[in-house]
Amino acid sequence: MKHVPWRMCVACRRRRPKGELLRILLTESGFQLDPSGKLPGRGAYVCPDNPECWTEKRLRRFAGGRAKALSEALSAFLGGKDGQNTHLPAG
Ligand SMILES: [Zn+2]
């Protein structure tokens, strides 16, 4: 059996196989989304398929004052998949 690393979502605290989660790289200046999961550095994880986990409220415990910026980055990055109102061309 292949060993699959499990990680915890920082928003809902659910444990899932690493591949099901979106990695967030912690940097000196804040956060950077790391869809490849391969950037060096300390990472955190969030559910990419649950908009509840991208909300500022849910992220605050983890991100503190940067929760809003992180929430916006996650929504912009992930929201386009099924949220039809994010990337509509004007007109
Ligand atoms: Zn989650």
- Tell the residue number behind the tokens 């391969």, with chain if given: 38
Question: Which residues does the chain have with pLDDT short of 70?
Answer: 80-91
Q: What is the pLDDT of residue 22?
A: 97
**How far is Cα 52 from Cα 27, in angstroms, rounded to an integer?**
24
Number of folded domains in the chain? 1
The answer to whether residue 90 sits within a structural domain is: no
d(CA 73, CA 70): 5
In a domain, 86, yes or no: no
CA of 90 to the centre of ligand 1 (A): 32
Instruction: Tell me how far the alpha carbon of residue 91 lies from the centroid of ligand 1, in angstroms.
Output: 35
Take residue 1 and report the two structure tokens written for it.
């059996």
pLDDT for position 55: 97
Separation of CA 49 and ligand 1 centre (Å): 8
> What is residue 81's predicted lDDT score, i.e. its pLDDT?
53
pLDDT of residue 15: 97
| Residue 46, H or E segment | strand 43-46
pLDDT at 86 (0 to 100):
46
Q: Is 87 within a domain?
A: no
User: What sections of 1-91 are H helices per DSSP?
Assistant: 56-63, 67-78
- What CATH number does residue 39 fall under? 3.30.1230.10
43, part of any domain: yes
The per-residue pLDDT for 24 is 97
